[in-house]
Amino acid sequence: MSAGERFYTAIQKLGAHPRPKRLRFYIEHQFLRGIDIVGKRILDVGGGYGLYALYCITHGASEVVVLEPQLAGSRSDTQVMFEALVEAIRPERPIRLVPEVVEEFVATEGGSFDIILMHNSINHINEEACAVLDRDGAARGYYRQFFTHLARLSRSGTQLVVADCARRNVFGDLGLRNPLLPSIEWHKHQSPRLWGQLLEEVGFKIRCIDWTSPNILGKAGRWMLNNAVMAYLTMSHFRLVAEYQGEGKGNVSV
């Protein structure tokens, strides 16, 4: 059994994801669509127990680091699940879980990454700042500094892939619970356009913004719903891909 096959077997056996087939569609046709991970060094920021990182390391990445600051100082269920998945999958290349915030990590990490992932984690970097990011200078400065740290972990050509919910959704605007995403607090999110503006201030160039369709609808759903209007009426979930244009650590001041 290949490492890729062991990945799906392990996440199903350990309950890491309830629907492996839908996860596979989401990763390959939505989140990482068009992203070449083979031979790449990858950083997964806010990666939890490493679901997407483990996909990458079992599908050709050369090395993956999962940065999960919420684990600092304690051994949690997240770390236990990560270790259980690694043991079950037995990846052939290195993957590690680092319980540090990005400011600490950038001070000690050597080299740069080819790809940086942020899957549903960008608003959790600082939820209070994120909630007022569109109208508060201090919040904007906080996130600009955070993106500057990501730039210091990058080189010219590094790809940043961000996935999250946008701020506006028809259900949220009407004060109703979204049946597809019932737990989302829409006011704690921001639009991909605003994220793009901040990223471009520190040297990233926006390559594309896609809208996520419900995985159950497959390729037909992507064809019908991959636009801002339909996203607003359904999940308002986006993927932003940016490319760093600078020179990394030596060219970015904090």
Q: What is the pLDDT of residue 184?
A: 96
pLDDT at residue 202 is higher than 90: yes
Phi, psi of 61 (to 5 degrees): -65, 150
CA–CA separation, 130 and 190 (whole Å): 7
Q: What is the pLDDT of residue 247?
A: 58
Question: Per residue in 218-253, pLDDT tens?
Answer: 888 788 888 999 999 999 999 999 999 975 444 443
* Percent of the chain residues topping a pLDDT of 70: 95
Residue 13: which domain range? Answer: 3-251
For residue 68, what are its two tokens?
């999960």
Q: What is the pLDDT of residue 140?
A: 97
* Percent of the chain residues topping a pLDDT of 90: 81
Give burial (CB, 10 Å; 0-12/13-18/19+) of 174.
exposed
Query: By three-state DSSP, how is residue 45 classified?
Result: strand
Longest dimension (CA), the chain: 52
The pLDDT of 36-56, averaged and rounded, is: 97
Closest by Cα among 118, 119, 86 to 102: 118
pLDDT at residue 159 is higher than 70: yes
Beta strands in 181-244 (DSSP E): 204-211, 237-244
Q: Are 215 and 123 in contact (CB under 8 A)?
A: no
Amino acid at 135: R
Q: Tell me which DSSP letter residue 47 carries.
A: -
The pTM is what? 0.93
Which CATH number is 90's domain given?
3.40.50.150
Q: What is the pLDDT of residue 70?
A: 73
Phi, psi of 243 (to 5 degrees): -125, 130
The pLDDT of 30-59, averaged and rounded, is: 97
Q: Cβ contacts of residue 53 below 8 Å, gap of 6+?
A: 42, 44, 47, 64, 65, 66, 95, 117
Total domains, the chain: 1
